[in-house]
Structure 1
Amino acid sequence: MYLADRSAPSAPPADTQAPPDRGSLRTPAVTSAVLALGTVSLITDVSSEMVTAVLPLYLIAGLGLSPLGFGALDGLYNGVSALVQLTGGHLADRVRNHKLIAGIGYGLSALCKPLLLFAHGLGPISVILALERTGKGLRTAPRDAMISLSTPAELQGRAFGVHRAMDTTGALLGPLAAFLVLSVAVDGYDAVFGVSACVAVLGVVVLMLFVPSGGGAAVPAGAAGGGGTAVPARAAGGGAARPDPVRLRDAMALLRLPRLRALALCAVLLGLTTVSDAFVYLLLQRRTGIGEQWFPLLPLGTAAVFLLLAVPAGALADRIGRRTVFLTGHALLLAGYGLLLWAPDWPPLPYLVLALHGMFYAATDGVLPAAVAATVPGRLRATGLALVGTGQALARFGCSLAFGAAWSLWGTGPALAAAAAGLLCCAAVAGLVLRPAAPDAAPSGTPALPDPTRSP
């Protein structure tokens, strides 16, 4: 999701720009970098969601995997990505080439898709999924860093909302494509995996040809997202100043930022009680008796609502505060759990649950990185995003394991009730932790956050 090598970035580095005259230049609400990255995400998500839509049913109904086994595999699917996010974020900041690291991640994921055609056991599938998630982990932080570094601080909620809306368009089209392939193909699952591989390759090609490179790694913190002082620089022989290399201890020093610690803590707490999408769809199918042939279409409901509300939710977060929107999203998820547990068996139930599920993602998926980006210096933007994203994903990994075990031991009702109770408690704690924090993005003219890489 970045700029093409043969074209200039959508906006020059902020340290080379003179402060614009108010009213002389109007900053676009969404930059070309965001639109380019959204296009690559759209294509890639079509490929990924084709597999994700059929994988739970393929593993449980086709290979006879138990809920506990699926919980472990689903946790692995997300946990590997979480661990690699730190590596991807640090490498992107260190080499100052976000597109390169993101491109490696997209390429690795694309290479893994055709391997699913030859894997018909739990062991090989686990290895392939782990490699595919490694690619996702590598690309996530550099991609989000480029979005934040190309967007003014006051518009980052909207920018992430636009990107997530385009990404979710792919998430909507992927299950639909999987459903159509399953309907017409003889070897349905293999056909889904084959088509998914072709689409993934197309995403990598679009990234290489149309996404501009560079852009963002040398932007001073605060210029396109606030939250830090200008990058320390050295003048080489009186020439242009170059930023100091990013070191591992610089990344660890980010945890000295109180606001970042608070966001990371809340992301972890809430992730520990966020049941994975696959389990939500399996619970909904069992609760309502939806036929197996319709199962791949369930993610469409979530994706459609997410698509419609991602941009409005991001813009609302920019106006009224990201904390409020983020916590409201988890309240909506809690309402969805409540419907699955206690609502009567009536026809609108699946639509209501999927709508609440989509509203949860619209209010949280882009709002959290926008809030994180507002606290992290520009030269360490990918690393900061990776720190919070890793904590959240590892927490969800633990939730997948715990929920799968609870389902196997107690059944679906008690397992979901425990998750709902945990979510309610963690949301209350998150509200208290975030309440005294400073605003997500300081208005122009206010002092910048201290540089976490310098000693006090």
Structure 2
Amino acid sequence: MTDASAEMVTAVLPAYLMYGLGVGYLQLGALDGLYTGATALFRLGGGYAADRGGRPKAVATCGYGISAVTKLGFLLVGASAGGVGLLLAADRTGKGIRTAPRDTLITLAAPEAQLGRAFGVHRAMDTAGAMLGPLLAFAVLLAVPGDFGTAFVVSFCLAVAGVLMLVFFVRPDRVPAARSRVRGLRECLASLSAGGTRRVVVAAALLGLTTVGDMFFFVAVQQRLELSPRLLPLLPVGTALVFMTAAVPLGRAADRIGRWRLFLLGHVLLLCGYLLVAAAPAGWSGLPSAAVLLGLHGLFYAATDGVLMAHVGPTIPARVRTTGLAVVQTAQALTRAGGAVAFGAAAAFAGLGTAFTAFALALLLALLGAAALHTPWSSR
């Protein structure tokens, strides 16, 4: 429900910003970085608050509530790119607060041997909403052309429904609260050195730095394959459909073959997508080619998004697990935000093709570095 609400708004943003407000690649990169990085510090705060009080559900509910309220703000800011940016930051703040506590609830509710599948089920439901959101937005705007206010109201109602589901249907699993502020922080930092968790943080950060933001990926698919701008808001549906379909099977595969191995293989698929976008071979255009790229993009998310949390979660003690997960997520969010800004600058000065070539090379080097830093090939 929450993702359907969020994607109703965000699916139309690339087209709205580029073709409606006329922002350039550099500005789009800044907004993409803000969208990705605004969650970073609040992930840590939300994680530590959940561990401190032993109430991950309460903190998660707070984060979902903040995101719900921001949907009404879009009715007020109009065509202001700055206002849109601030609302995106507020929405991502709510996401930052809720993400680690929500993932902790999953680790507490599922057997360790089945965490890959459990996170796969969650990501499949999560992505079903991400797929339905653009379709709902498209349907609303088809019924009332140009009336974005109606779309925002529908988005708000869906977000509220998501909060109510969490409040009434999710069991409030409790974890032991830290006895003191200092001890809780020290225990969390010590946990990052156990089980190779610190190396996971560094490796995930390296890969995050070379990951192109979703907005740019969809814009590149539309422009490099010469698709109509009207199709841009629907491209996320392709990625979401593949993600939703593959999340559970790949989660089960991760439990069998090793979660870190699958995480790295997911980035190999992303690398293939970058190379295809950069090369844009002769005749490489149209919807069939877009389906290939969106398929690789969706498989990348299915092989990495929940799999990383399933891999690192069991290595962190339960009493500080939310904070530890937040550290990993924050490292990813900050580096992905920096990568989005860097990509925007590269695309503005050298073009999309050259920028994707450079990021493909950087991603290859990051993959080699991540494999060298953390190589528990037999670890699940």
**Alignment-derived partner of residue 35 in structure 1:** none
* Aligned pairs (5 A) from 1:66-77: 66-77=24-35
More deviation, 137-146/194-203? 194-203
Following TM superposition, by how much is the alpha carbon of 1:307 offset from its aligned partner in structure 2, in angstroms?
0.8
CA contact (8 A) 2:278 2:354 kept: no
CA contact (8 A) 1:90 1:251 kept: no
Distance 1:211 1:307, change over 3 A: same
**Alignment-derived partner of residue 151 in structure 1:** 110
Higher-RCO chain (CA-CA 8 Å, sequence separation at least 6) = 2
Q: What is the distance in 1 between the residues matched to 2:90 and 2:225? A: 34
Q: What is the distance in 1 between the residues matched to 2:229 and 2:112? A: 45
* Aligned pairs (5 A) from 1:224-235: none
More deviation, 189-198/314-323? 189-198
Following TM superposition, by how much is the alpha carbon of 1:131 offset from its aligned partner in structure 2, in angstroms?
1.1
Following TM superposition, by how much is the alpha carbon of 1:243 offset from its aligned partner in structure 2, in angstroms?
6.7
**Partner SS state of residue 275, structure 1:** coil
2:149 is aligned with what amino acid? D
Matched, 1:209 2:146: no
Identity across matched positions, percent: 49
CA contact (8 A) 1:51 1:193 kept: yes
Distance 1:243 1:258, change over 3 A: closer
**Alignment-derived partner of residue 395 in structure 1:** 335
2:255 aligned to which of 318, 329, 333: 318
Q: What is the distance in 1 between the residues matched to 2:62 and 2:178? A: 24
| Deviations 1:326-364, CA, capped at 9 Å, x for gaps | 111000011111111223324421000000000000100
Matched, 1:112 2:63: no
1:386 aligned to which of 316, 326, 345: 326
* Aligned pairs (5 A) from 1:42-61: 43-61=1-19
Q: What is the distance in 2 between the residues matched to 1:406 and 1:122? A: 21
2:179 aligned to which of 244, 257, 264: 244
Structure with the higher fraction of residues in helix conformation? 2
RMSD: 1.6
Name the larger-Rg structure: 1
Report the TM-score when normalising by structure 2: 0.95
Following TM superposition, by how much is the alpha carbon of 1:296 offset from its aligned partner in structure 2, in angstroms?
1.4
* Aligned pairs (5 A) from 1:68-87: 68-87=26-45
**Alignment-derived partner of residue 305 in structure 2:** 365
CA contact (8 A) 2:205 2:335 kept: yes
CA contact (8 A) 1:275 1:403 kept: yes
Q: Which runs of 5+ in 2 are unaligned?
A: none
Q: What is the distance in 1 between the residues matched to 2:73 and 2:214? A: 24
Q: What is the distance in 2 between the residues matched to 1:154 and 1:333? A: 27
More deviation, 52-61/341-350? 341-350
Q: What is the distance in 1 between the residues matched to 2:260 and 2:185? A: 29
Q: What is the distance in 2 between the residues matched to 1:153 and 1:439? A: 16
Q: What is the distance in 2 between the residues matched to 1:304 and 1:160? A: 17
Q: Which runs of 5+ in 1 are unaligned?
A: 1-42, 219-241, 442-456
**Alignment-derived partner of residue 409 in structure 1:** 349
Q: What is the distance in 1 between the residues matched to 2:149 and 2:228? A: 21
**Number of equivalences:** 374
Following TM superposition, by how much is the alpha carbon of 1:255 offset from its aligned partner in structure 2, in angstroms?
2.9
Distance 1:243 1:67, change over 3 A: closer
1:147 is aligned with what amino acid? I
**Partner SS state of residue 366, structure 1:** helix
Distance 1:243 1:104, change over 3 A: closer
* Aligned pairs (5 A) from 1:289-304: 289-304=226-241
Following TM superposition, by how much is the alpha carbon of 1:189 offset from its aligned partner in structure 2, in angstroms?
3.0
1:63 aligned to which of 9, 21, 25: 21
Report the TM-score when normalising by structure 1: 0.79
**Partner SS state of residue 365, structure 1:** helix
**Alignment-derived partner of residue 46 in structure 2:** 88
